[in-house]
Chains A and B, each alone.
Chain A
Amino acid sequence: MSDDTTDETTGEQTDGKALKSGEGAPVPDKATDSAATRTDDDPRAVSASQHTGGGRVAELSDEDREPVKIGERRGMFGATRGQDTSGYGGLVTPTLLPGASERPYGSYFDEVADLLGTALDGDLYERAVEKVVVDRGEMTLFVHREHLLAVARVLRDDPALRFEMCMGVSGTHYPGEEGRELHAVYPLLSITHGSRRIRLEVTCPEADPHVPSVVEVWPGNDWHEREVWDMFGIVFDGHPALTRILMPDDWPGHPQRKDYPLGGIAVEYKGGVVPPPDERRAYS
């Protein structure tokens, strides 16, 4: 029944589009994804969803849908030095981040994905966007790093997308996720479309920590990328002056990586040296 109503409301337009683009008849098969229920009044949004059919993205395999394991927790009470006498010491709990989501994503996320698919010419979309994760009402597009600039440019320039603001970049280090230890997360904001937000996430291995810089697309990301280089050691290729920004220029290491300890650095001031807190005289 619901299919019938969808056809009734969108049938005419759909046919026209299908003929023009020769795309077959890509009718959204869910009542929730019809033009009638679409809240945005942008005609491009409607046509784009019909163009890509909302199902253009390859079917998700079970593997895609599975949550991403980034590590595991042992025991129950956080004791790590063999003092766990509770009997729960052998417990292993995997740490799972949400896996790829299936359509419909909900909210304006379907529309953003459709528009991006159209603007990127479908084929490139499939190659560039690794997966889409919709979690807690936020949409994350995992983008392959080699296509990051193309995606960023389209997201900024396409009038129907128009994410004109990039709110910086935040690094995250997942030592347990082999081959994609370092993540760079870009929160985007579209003021034009009523403060829509999406997030780009790019991964790179620790052995080859290179991500293209988006400074030429969003110049405001200059300092943010320097901060992520400083703290996580991700090299943003094409950045105009990738130098440390918060730590001193000659600092060894990247402090916010998970294998970098807290403390352990002596305080030096005018020749005097105060040992780090964990090595100071104890009073016990």
Chain B
Amino acid sequence: MTTHDSGTIYDDTDASPGLDPALPGADPYGVAVDDETEGATSFTVSGGDWNDLVDEATALHEERIVVNMGPQHPSTHGVLRLILELDGETVTEARAGIGYLHTGIEKNMEFRTWTQGVTFCTRMDYLTPMFQEAAYCLAIERLLGITDRVPERASIIRVLMMELTRISSHLIALGTGGMEMGATTVMTVGFRERERILRVFEAVTGLRMNNAYIRPGGVAQDVPHGAVDMVRGVISELRHGIGELEKLLVENPLLKGRTVGVGYLDLTGCVALGVTGPVLRSTGLPHDLRKSAPYCGYETYDFDVVTRTGADAYDRLRIRLDEMHQSLRIVEQCLDRLQRTEGQPVMVDDKKIAWPAQLAIGGDGQGNSLDHIREIMGTSMEALIHHFKLVTEGFRVPPGQAYVAVESAKGELGCHAVSDGGTRPYRAHFRDPSFNNLQAVAAMCEGSQVADVIVAVASIDPVMGGVDR
């Protein structure tokens, strides 16, 4: 049985148990027959009538039920699988199963040039692309020893983009978190506001997500004309939208009932589990890498680290709301500096690292800067060779290793980059905050109700693209 002509690459074997209704296990989504272990009974629920299941389970007098929540469950943030052992409504044991979205990004990066790696790592945590790009590029710059030579304007643009990304990530965290508790308006408001930021990204980088905008040595290109004014307009709209979210959330008795005291994890637990970001700050510890180990010139910006002391889901939500206001403060400062540094370079002046052409869209909607094309095609063959070599082969990075951490929206995002002197990363490892923080699910959920698991996971704000990489 083939679905194409001969030579097709889609070969369906006849013995496929999932497709032939005559074979056992006709339900392709159900458990396999031999899945029963130690005499335990498996129940498969795929929508439909839960009462039957409950009756069946009651009839068996089983008090201990293990429930697989996910990996395809709308409220588990993508393909997270939660294995919950239940005693009635109470979760006695909770474990997270991950790996369903593993795409081998780190391995792939070893087979591309250092610059191309940006395109890969931006896809890890797809809600915070700029943070991965920034961490990766900062690591490369440290390996190259050009950290101090990155132009000021490039750092300003990086900070601007990172803070906008932080806001958009927090908006998603609040929006999806609200949706998981049944508040769809929170979701629509959150996504509506995020859309404004994505429009800025599209105007500046050409892409809404997965931007590949921050490059080793600077950024891909300067912000376009009118971008500063555009962002200024967006700031006031965002202020209004975040205010709307605050009105919906902060004093909402339903929300408080669902979140206050839920997903509790104290400072000891956070530090032991290596948890960072809003979860750590909700215990009252003002740990923020932007303050304690500044990069990209964060020490020159005026902002506060938001902390609260409840250590629960509600305080994490409030921290996210307040952090968005702080981010907007930083964005405003960035805009003033961008106006001051108009016309300054956005890429390191080392011609062995920086791509020679600043891409400029021509009349036909694509293309390269005309001056550069005139030069490489008309006057300088060496420039053409140089351009070709730099783009195809890339630059060499001296051997060694570097670990650079940035404060992503979710916590410490670290990049461990190793070079063997070649044009490609020898190893690029990302310490994704969600990956680490998800370990806290057990500590947050055990002993609570099933419904609180959703809230606790939402308060960690994991993104499986980053967790599984």
Contact = CB atoms under 8 A, between A and B. Distances in A.
Contacts of A136: 142-143, 145, 400, 402
A140 B402 CA distance: 10
B405 interface: yes
B273 A220 contact: yes
B436 A223 contact: yes
Contact residues on B (Cβ < 8 Å of other chain), bracket? 35 or more
A247 B468 CA distance: 9
Interface residues of A, number: 57
Given A166-B274, A248-B99, A256-B427, 13 more contacts: A138-B402, A164-B271, A167-B274, A167-B414, A168-B436, A189-B412, A195-B293, A219-B272, A231-B106, A246-B99, A270-B18, A270-B28, A280-B9
Contact of B274 (A165, A245, A246, A274): A165
Nearest to B421: A95
A138 B293 CA distance: 13
26 contacts: A70-B399, A70-B420, A71-B420, A73-B421, A95-B399, A95-B420, A96-B399, A96-B421, A97-B401, A135-B400, A138-B142, A138-B402, A167-B405, A170-B429, A172-B401, A172-B427, A173-B427, A185-B403, A187-B403, A187-B416, A191-B287, A195-B293, A218-B272, A271-B16, A273-B13, A280-B9
Interface in A108-157: 135-138, 140
B107 A281 contact: no
Interface string A259-275: 00010000000111111
A165 B439 CA distance: 15
B286 to A, nearest CB: 10
Interface string A180-214: 00000101010100110101000000000000000
Interface string A84-99: 0000000001011110
Contacts of A78: 393, 423
B278 to A, nearest CB: 16
Contacts of B9: 274-275, 280-281
A218 B271 CA distance: 9
Contacts of A33: none
Contacts of B15: 271
B404 to A, nearest CB: 9
Contacts of B418: 172
Contact of A73 (B12, B276, B422): B422
A256 B18 contact: no
B206 interface: no
B274 A271 contact: no
B399 A97 contact: yes
A50 interface: no
Given A97-B400, A281-B9, A262 B468 contact: no
B421 to A, nearest CB: 5
Contacts of A246: 98-99, 102, 468-469
B10 interface: yes
A195 B289 contact: yes
Interface string B391-417: 001000001111101000000101010
Nearest to A166: B274
Contacts of B213: none
A270 B19 contact: yes
